[in-house]
Amino acid sequence: MQLPERNRGPADYLRVARDPATGAADLLELSGSPYSFVRLAVAGRADAALPALRRVWAAGEYDAWDRNTLLRALAGHPNADRALLLEVRDEAARLLVAGLHRPYAAVLALATRPELTDAEVRALTNLPGASRRLRAGILRALETRQPQ
């Protein structure tokens, strides 16, 4: 990893996580960072591999804002597989039912994913935390998404 030998700080890890030259092995290592903002930077990288995404997801130590950011990043990530997308959907559903943090961006991103069936996404429209605008957005996304 391209970090100085001494005096490494959180900003150094974030810089490496955001650097386009950082390779898959380093992203995997950074996905286990104790700093949530570094893990979020890894999740935001389109070239982050599935093992790195799973490790970021498994860390589980996020405040409300970061949790929504992570859900959105994973829901739209090109390397997220069906199993991870289902976990993101389940977490978004839990937050909607609990009335917490409103993961609307993640839900709308999930609605565009062909890996999930219409029924799996449509079920989110019936949850108590789904606003009228969110329900309409989900239905619109389902109508326009491309099959896999």
Map out the domains of the chain as residue ranges.
1-61, 63-148
Q: What pLDDT does residue 7 have?
A: 62
For the whole model, what pTM was predicted? 0.92
Non-local (6+) Cβ contacts of 148 within 8 A are 114, 115
Measuring CA to CA, which residue among 36, 42, 40 is closest to residue 1? 42
Average pLDDT, the chain: 92
- 6, pLDDT greater than 70: no
How far is it, in rounded angstroms, from Cα 127 to Cα 48?
Answer: 31
What integer is the mean pLDDT of 53-65?
91
What integer is the mean pLDDT of 36-41?
96
| pLDDT tens string 84-130 | 999 999 999 999 999 878 999 999 999 999 999 999 999 999 999 99
